[in-house]
Amino acid sequence: MTVFDRQWWEERYRSAPALWSGRANAQLVAEVAELPPGRALDAGCGEGGDAFWLAERDWDVVAVDISTVALDRAAAEAERRGLSGRIRFEQADLTAWTPTGRYDLVTAAFLHPPSAVRGPLYARLAGAVAPGGTLLLVQHDPSDAAVVPRPDLPDLYATAEELAADLDPEQWDIITTAARPRTVHHPEHGGEVTVHDAVLVARRH
């Protein structure tokens, strides 16, 4: 079984000059565009696309990732864009890391921790949301396995409803649980296909 540890991610990022597009993910844009800016935690920030988008809209961002290669690229790009004063980058293994402080927005996109890790990891992230703040979790919906190649590790995927089930209803209002469609290019034949993002948006009381 593949172990997605720090070494795996460092090699994954080293294998390409830019692993991702550098753009913010569509679900972050859809869910956060109308929120007033404040303090944000971007957990699993990669090369920084979401953090840049937030900082450009006056959020103060703490951006955390396991890979120093990714973080070095993100920090260089933040400097180029004039955003260094709004983003603090931090290296950490999210499976063993607890955020400090409280945030108006905590977002984690496409982390896909295995089920034994998922609950405790997301509970720590949820614990960092300030009263009135927003939690946004985005994953590949399990249905994508029939549409595009994904690692044959079904334990990594969860529906938005499964993610929401771990939140205490006395502390949270569930705003959105959705399998939201998105058009992508198929990595093998190049044609356009529709995949779905599992999107959970919740607001702390």
What does the pLDDT look like over 4-62, one tens digit per residue? 899 989 999 999 877 676 789 999 999 999 999 999 999 999 999 999 999 999 999 99
Mean pLDDT, to the nearest integer, of 105-129?
Answer: 96
Q: Is the pLDDT of residue 121 over 70?
A: yes
- Number of folded domains in the chain? 1
The answer as to whether 33 is a domain residue is: yes
Task: Give 194's Cβ-side CA count (13 Å radius).
Answer: 3
126-135, 150-159, 163-172, 192-201: least confidently modelled range: 150-159
CA–CA distance, 108 with 28 (Å, rounded to integer)? 9
- pLDDT of the residue at 2: 59
Q: Is residue 43 part of a domain?
A: yes
Residue 3: pLDDT over 90 = no
What's the distance, CA 5 to chain centroid?
17
Q: What is the pLDDT of residues 87-105, one digit of tens each?
A: 999 999 999 999 999 999 9
* Whole-number pLDDT of residue 1: 44
What average pLDDT does this structure show over 99-114? 96
Sheet hosting strand 192-204, strand order edge to edge: 87-91, 60-65, 39-43, 103-109, 129-140, 192-204, 172-185
Which residues span the domain enclosing 166? 6-15+23-204
- Residue 1 within any structural domain of the chain: no
Tell me, what CATH number does 195's domain have?
Answer: 3.40.50.150
- The β-bridge partners of 200 are 137, 177
Q: Give the tens place of pLDDT for each residue, 71-89.
A: 999 999 999 999 999 999 9
Q: Is 145 part of a structural domain of the chain?
A: yes
Specify if 114 maps to a domain: yes
Confidence of residue 144 (pLDDT cuts 50, 70, 90): confident
Q: Does 55 reside within a domain?
A: yes
pLDDT at 148: 78
- CA–CA gap between residue 148 and residue 193 (Å, rounded): 8
